[in-house]
């Protein structure tokens, strides 16, 4: 069994893989104040709850967009599992040709999602990750990571709106029945959900145009993918575990023979 950890700005998404199947899944809050011992004990408690012995865990693969927490995660793996985790970064075999001006700038989560999408669905493919930021990642027919676009995330935009507009309340992110609403809450929900869906479609249309392929498939992932995707005219698939699946694939491509 291996541990796949996708360290994001908000959550650490963790999958326990038994061969190619995800056996268990858990999320922890990304908290720079937590120590390696705290993360280690939380993970051990989760494994014990699921009846998985520590001796069954043979490796870990990690993508992180929070550099300040990397040492904590590495130290946790060394202390509680007695191995060095595979950290996704420059020099790691991904199976993609990274066509980026500076490959070191690309978030490891974007690469992991792109690896999984290309492996599962082929190319060209556009991956939209609805996380703290909403990222658009483009992979060509030949497996080249071409880059994409980044826009504010749904929750981040909502929080910014509430924080900077004194009369606007915090709202639940649910889809209203109409775009024309007669309540402030309904107005905000319509603007956020339908507005984001329209922004996503516009970017996908432009990326398809630049690829020269109007049929390039668009795959959504991330926490709010299932909320926005039904209102999109371009998203054809939703896969909430793309990043973890990509990490598993990357681990397989870098695993040293016994």
How far apart CA 12 and CA 7 sit, in angstroms, is: 4
How far apart CA 71 and CA 36 sit, in angstroms, is: 8
Hey, which bits of the chain come out as E strands?
2-7, 11-18, 21-29, 59-64, 86-87, 97-98, 125-130, 133-139, 144-152, 217-221, 235-238
How far apart CA 80 and CA 66 sit, in angstroms, is: 21
CB contact set of 35 (below 8 Å; sequence gap of 6+): 72
User: Are the C-beta atoms of 60 and 4 separated by less than 8 Å?
Assistant: yes
User: Are the C-beta atoms of 249 and 143 separated by less than 8 Å?
Assistant: no
Strands 133-139 and 59-64: what pairing?
Answer: unpaired
Tokens of 191: 């603007």
How far apart CA 164 and CA 120 sit, in angstroms, is: 42
Q: Which of 18, 37, 109, 142 is catalytic?
A: 109
Annotated catalytic residue 109: yes
How far apart CA 209 and CA 204 sit, in angstroms, is: 8
- Tell which residue, 138, 86, 88, has the closest CA to residue 108: 88
- By annotation, the residues acting in catalysis are 109
């Amino acid at each position: 069994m291996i541990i796949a950890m996708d360290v994001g700005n908000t959550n650490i998404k963790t999958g326990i893989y038994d061969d190619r199947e995800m056996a268990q899944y858990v999320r922890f809050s990304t908290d720079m104040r937590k120590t390696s011992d705290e993360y280690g004990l939380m993970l051990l408690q989760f494994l014990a709850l699921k009846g998985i012995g520590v001796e069954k865990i043979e490796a870990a693969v990690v993508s992180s967009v929070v550099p300040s927490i990397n040492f904590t995660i590495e130290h946790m793996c060394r202390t509680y599992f007695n191995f060095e985790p595979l950290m996704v970064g420059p020099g790691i075999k991904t199976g993609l040709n990274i066509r980026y001006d500076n490959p070191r700038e690309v978030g490891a989560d974007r690469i992991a999602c792109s690896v999984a999408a290309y492996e599962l669905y082929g190319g060209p493919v556009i991956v939209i990750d609805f996380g703290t930021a909403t990222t658009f990642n483009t992979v060509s027919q030949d497996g080249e990571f071409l880059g994409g676009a980044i826009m504010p995330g749904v929750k981040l935009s909502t929080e910014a709106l509430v924080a900077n507009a004194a009369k606007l309340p915090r709202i639940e992110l649910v889809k209203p029945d109409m775009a024309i609403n007669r309540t402030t809450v309904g107005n905000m929900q319509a603007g956020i959900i339908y507005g984001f869906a329209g922004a996503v479609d516009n970017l996908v249309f432009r990326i398809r145009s630049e690829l020269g392929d109007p049929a390039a498939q668009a795959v959504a992932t991330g926490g709010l993918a299932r909320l926005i995707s039904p209102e999109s005219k371009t998203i054809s698939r939703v896969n909430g575990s793309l990043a973890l699946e990509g990490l598993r694939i990357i681990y397989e491509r870098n695993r040293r023979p016994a």
